[in-house]
């Protein structure tokens, strides 16, 4: 959600870097974009500012002919919170003098009080945003004789809420930045230095990064970067090297990132499994959790009772967490799953023996981070399951398991969901019996199983047949239930069609009233539990009696085909693993429906890749 890029240096032209950076952040979702550049002549003139509602192409059209030279610059892709999409509400925002420009992610909770004070002091505002108070606060501090860095610190000290904020001042070659509960990362280059909300913004220029923690400030100059605390004390930082190749973030000939990422799933899962499963011994060993059984025992040594594990997550990650909780329950561990945004308000009991697992692709999801922080304060052990090395979740939790899916650009998660399921399968084994040869064989069969689905799927033909449907239902039981929920979410996200997913047994408790001959039902039916296939087939008969077409996603064609209009077949690789393959069929159906409808598949309306506000 929202994207920040900042740059200063003697290398590439500032405007070129900013526009390249904004392009690299488009996947996060946005409705306007803008840039601000300071004069290389170090004059006291205005900051050059360009911003437009709409896509990046609108901003590009607004730029003057030729390159806009500059000493330092900041750019932003906005996803509206305070005020609708418009040129005025787009970032960057400036002060009354036009000498200070600011970009900001997050929400400033006390902006109304600050704005009222500033307006009373004679400041004029041009937008409806919370962000605009920041440049005016800096303006006041500059007028009081403070240096640009001092003025920036003074302004930030008055902010309440969440923020990643960056500023430039006319006549200065420095970009100033700070973060609190919203991500910022610094890029260390050869002839210039960067800051951004995410690595893809500058990965074309450097793979050397420094991650900022909450409460830290950064100054980025042509000569280097420095990190300090709120009092200005220098913080020693380490430079990490990102393992992403810039080519990994390209489309590689595919029409959409989403389709590319669906087809990347076999390799993503091989990466997730690598050096973590041993086929000969049948064991699962996650190196980053070495010795975890001593810190997260699943059995209380005092009374022999299993210790509770709580999952917190949002959206697609929540569906993965539902899957993970069931895996643990099937192994005798009392595991629960909570929507992260509701976790604190539900007042969920947390004891010293509780482990709270946050599942978050980006490692920056605001609701999940809040839940993890609340759990940590209550005395729980915390563990992050995430894709991003160096993310807030990875740094703040007691333990971390990386899913190793590689960069995912499409807003609708695909390969990260499958990789989360695989990582949680290994986590469940690591926390309990350490795995078995049967489990390891099933896990190793997933990449080839997905490849077979990709090679043989009839999803495109089914999508064409049902593209004009009024709505879509997705049902399943057991391990199929989270996959059905995810199938419905994918359909909603990228087709803008109404879709519902629920455990199959819930069909008769209300949703059946909506079933017609124009509401196809996608029934995921894999053979993972005694009686589940026959029970779900009973639900299939219920919708067929109301005239609804049925598409079965199954590894039991022999049992299911007589009751379905279409069958999307998957290989049978194991009770808990076959549903991972079924999910791929549902991803393909949603993709091809959206493609037939001409939707913006990689950047669906109103959605953001990383949701960094609560």
Residues 77-98 pLDDT 10s: 987 777 788 989 999 999 999 9
Average pLDDT of span 583-600: 97
Place of tokens 């692709």: 361
Whether residue 381 contacts residue 295, with contact meaning beta carbons closer than 8 Å, is answered with yes
> What is the predicted pLDDT for the residue at 369?
92
Whether 302 shows a pLDDT value over 70: the answer reads no
Cα 258 from Cα 411, distance rounded (Å): 8
Whether 43 shows a pLDDT value over 60: the answer reads no
Whether residue 413 contacts residue 319, with contact meaning beta carbons closer than 8 Å, is answered with no
Average pLDDT of span 502-527: 89
For the record, the structure tokens of 285 come out as 């060993």
Torsion sign, CA atoms 97, 98, 103, 107: positive
> What is the predicted pLDDT for the residue at 31?
84
190 burial level (CB within 10 Å; 0-12, 13-18, 19+): exposed
To the nearest whole number, what is the mean pLDDT of the chain? 89
Strand partners, 381: 355
Delimiting residues of CATH 3.40.50.10490 domain(s) in the chain: 250-456, 457-614
Instruction: Tell me if residue 265 falls in helix, strand or coil.
Output: helix
Cα 218 from Cα 174, distance rounded (Å): 10
Torsion sign, CA atoms 142, 148, 150, 156: positive
Strand partners, 67: none
What are the CA-CA distances from residue 259 to residues 245, 252, 253, 408 (Å)? 19, 11, 10, 11
For the record, the structure tokens of 381 come out as 């052990």
291 burial level (CB within 10 Å; 0-12, 13-18, 19+): exposed
Task: Note the pLDDT tens digit of each residue in 428-461.
Answer: 998 888 888 899 999 999 999 999 999 999 999 9
For the record, the structure tokens of 410 come out as 């499409």
Whether 526 shows a pLDDT value over 80: the answer reads yes
> What is the predicted pLDDT for the residue at 534?
81
Cα 464 from Cα 596, distance rounded (Å): 7
Cα 19 from Cα 35, distance rounded (Å): 8
> What is the predicted pLDDT for the residue at 250?
67
- DSSP, res 299: B
Report the topology of domain 3-245: 3.60.20
How many residues comprise the chain? Answer: 614
- DSSP, res 200: G
pTM of this prediction exceeds 0.75: yes
Neighbours of 428 (CB within 10 A): 27
What are the CA-CA distances from residue 110 to residues 106, 159, 216 (Å)? 12, 7, 20
H or E segment and range at residue 418: helix 415-431
Strand partners, 270: none
Cα 261 from Cα 267, distance rounded (Å): 10
What are the CA-CA distances from residue 553 to residues 281, 347, 536 (Å)? 33, 38, 12
Cα 253 from Cα 308, distance rounded (Å): 46
418 burial level (CB within 10 Å; 0-12, 13-18, 19+): buried
Whether 251 shows a pLDDT value over 90: the answer reads no
What are the CA-CA distances from residue 572 to residues 198, 277, 319, 577, 580 (Å)? 38, 20, 21, 8, 11
Delimiting residues of CATH 3.60.20.10 domain(s) in the chain: 3-245
The CATH homologous superfamily to which domain 457-614 belongs is Glucose-6-phosphate isomerase like protein; domain 1 (3.40.50.10490)
Cα 96 from Cα 126, distance rounded (Å): 10
Expressed in angstroms, the distance from the first to the final Cα of the chain is 11
H or E segment and range at residue 138: helix 133-143
Which of the following CATH numbers is that of domain 250-456: 3.30.70.100, 3.40.1190.10, 3.40.50.10490, 1.20.1250.20? 3.40.50.10490
Strand 550-554 to 566-569 pairing:
parallel
Cα angle, residue 244 at apex, residues 175 and 591 outer, rounded to 5°: 105
- The 3-state secondary structure of 161-186 reads EEEEEEEEECCCCCEEEEEECCCCEE
Task: Note the pLDDT tens digit of each residue in 5-17.
Answer: 999 998 888 999 9
My answer on whether omega of the bond before 564 falls inside 30° of 0, hence cis, is no
609 burial level (CB within 10 Å; 0-12, 13-18, 19+): buried
Strand 381-386 to 335-339 pairing:
unpaired
Task: Note the pLDDT tens digit of each residue in 378-395.
Answer: 889 999 999 988 888 998
Active-site amino acid positions:
2, 609
Of 359, 374, 362, 364, the C-alpha closest to 314 is 359
Task: Tell me the pLDDT band of 304, cut-offs 50, 70 and 90.
Answer: low
Alpha helices in 274-404 (DSSP H): 292-295, 315-329, 340-343, 366-377, 392-396
């Amino acid at each position: 959600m929202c994207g920040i890029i900042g740059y200063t240096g003697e290398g590439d032209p500032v405007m070129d870097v900013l526009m390249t950076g904004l392009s690299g952040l488009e996947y996060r979702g946005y409705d306007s974009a803008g840039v601000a550049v300071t004069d290389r002549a170090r004059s006291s003139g205005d900051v050059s500012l360009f911003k437009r509602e709409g896509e990046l192409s609108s901003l590009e059209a607004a730029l003057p002919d030729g390159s806009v030279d500059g000493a330092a610059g900041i750019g932003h892709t906005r996803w509206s919170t305070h005020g609708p999409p418009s040129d005025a509400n787009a970032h960057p925002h400036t002060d009354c003098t036009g000498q200070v420009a600011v970009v900001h992610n997050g929400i400033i909770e006390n902006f109304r009080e600050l704005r009222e004070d500033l307006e009373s002091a004679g400041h004029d505002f041009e937008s409806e945003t919370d962000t605009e108070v920041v440049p005016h606060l800096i303006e006041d501090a500059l007028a009081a004789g403070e240096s640009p860095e001092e003025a920036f610190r003074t302004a930030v000290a008055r902010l309440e809420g969440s923020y990643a904020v960056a500023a430039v001042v006319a006549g200065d070659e420095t970009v100033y930045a700070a973060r609190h509960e919203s991500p910022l990362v610094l890029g260390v280059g050869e002839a210039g230095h960067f800051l951004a909300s995410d690595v893809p913004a500058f990965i074309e220029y450097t793979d050397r990064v420094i991650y900022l923690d909450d409460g830290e400030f950064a100054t980025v100059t042509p000569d280097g970067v420095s990190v300090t605390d709120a009092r200005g004390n220098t913080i020693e930082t380490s430079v990490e090297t990102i393992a992403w190749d810039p080519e990994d973030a390209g489309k590689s000939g595919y029409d959409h990132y989403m389709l590319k990422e669906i087809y990347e799933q076999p390799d993503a899962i091989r990466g997730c499994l690598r050096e973590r499963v041993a086929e000969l011994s049948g064991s699962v060993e996650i190196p980053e959790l070495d010795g975890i059984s001593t810190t997260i025992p699943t059995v209380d040594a005092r009374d022999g009772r299993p210790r509770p594990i709580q999952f917190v997550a949002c959206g697609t990650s929540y569906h993965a967490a539902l899957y993970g909780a069931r895996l643990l329950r099937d192994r005798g561990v009392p595991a629960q799953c909570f929507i992260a945004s509701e976790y604190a308000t539900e007042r969920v009991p947390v004891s010293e023996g509780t482990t709270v697992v946050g599942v978050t692709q980006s490692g920056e999801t605001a609701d999940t981070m809040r839940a993890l922080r609340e759990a940590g304060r209550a005395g729980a052990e915390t563990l992050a399951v995430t894709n991003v090395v160096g993310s807030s979740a990875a740094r703040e939790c007691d333990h971390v398991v990386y899913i190793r899916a590689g960069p995912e650009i499409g807003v609708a998660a695909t390969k990260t969901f499958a990789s989360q399921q695989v990582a949680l399968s290994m986590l469940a084994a690591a926390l309990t019996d350490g795995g078995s040869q049967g489990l390891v064989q099933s896990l190793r069969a997933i990449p080839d199983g997905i490849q077979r689905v990709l090679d043989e799927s009839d999803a495109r033909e089914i999508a064409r047949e049902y593209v004009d449907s009024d709505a879509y239902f997705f049902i399943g039981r057991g391990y199929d239930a989270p996959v059905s929920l995810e199938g419905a979410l994918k359909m909603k996200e990228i087709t803008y069609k109404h879709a519902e997913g629920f455990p199959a047994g819930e069909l008769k408790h209300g949703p059946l009233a909506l079933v017609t001959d124009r509401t196809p039902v996608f029934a995921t039916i894999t053979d993972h539990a005694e009686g589940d296939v026959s029970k779900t087939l009973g639900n299939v008969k219920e919708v067929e009696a109301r005239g609804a077409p049925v598409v079965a996603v199954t590894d039991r064609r022999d049992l299911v085909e007589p009751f379905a209009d279409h069958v999307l077949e998957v290989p049978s690789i194991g009770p808990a693993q076959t549903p991972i393959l079924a999910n791929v069929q549902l991803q393909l159906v949603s993709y091809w429906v959206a493609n037939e409808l001409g939707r913006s598949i990689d950047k669906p309306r109103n959605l953001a890749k990383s949701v960094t506000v609560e």
